[in-house]
Amino acid sequence: MRKALVFAKRTNTWELISANLKPHLAEMPYLQDIVTALDGLVTQGKSLDTAQEVARGQLQDAVHKRQELEKQGESLRRRAEAHLRGSFGFTSDDLVKFGIRPRKSGSRGPRQKKPPAETPQPAVK
- pLDDT tens by residue, 38-70: 999 999 999 999 999 999 999 999 999 999 999
Indicate whether 71 belongs to any domain: yes
Indicate whether 31 belongs to any domain: yes
From 24-38, 66-80, 98-112, the region with the lowest mean pLDDT:
98-112
Containing structural domain, residue 93 = 2-98
Indicate whether 117 belongs to any domain: no
Indicate whether 38 belongs to any domain: yes
Q: Dihedral of the CA atoms 79, 81, 87, 88 (nearest 10)?
A: -170
How many domains would you assign to the chain?
A: 1
The pTM is what?
0.58
Indicate whether 26 belongs to any domain: yes
Indicate whether 113 belongs to any domain: no
Indicate whether 105 belongs to any domain: no
pLDDT digit string (tens) for 10-43? 999 999 999 999 999 999 999 999 999 999 999 9
Asked if residues 53 and 7 have their Cβ atoms less than 8 Å apart, the reply is no
How would you label 81-98 residue by residue, b for 16+ Cβ within 10 Å and e otherwise? eeebbeebeeeeeebeee
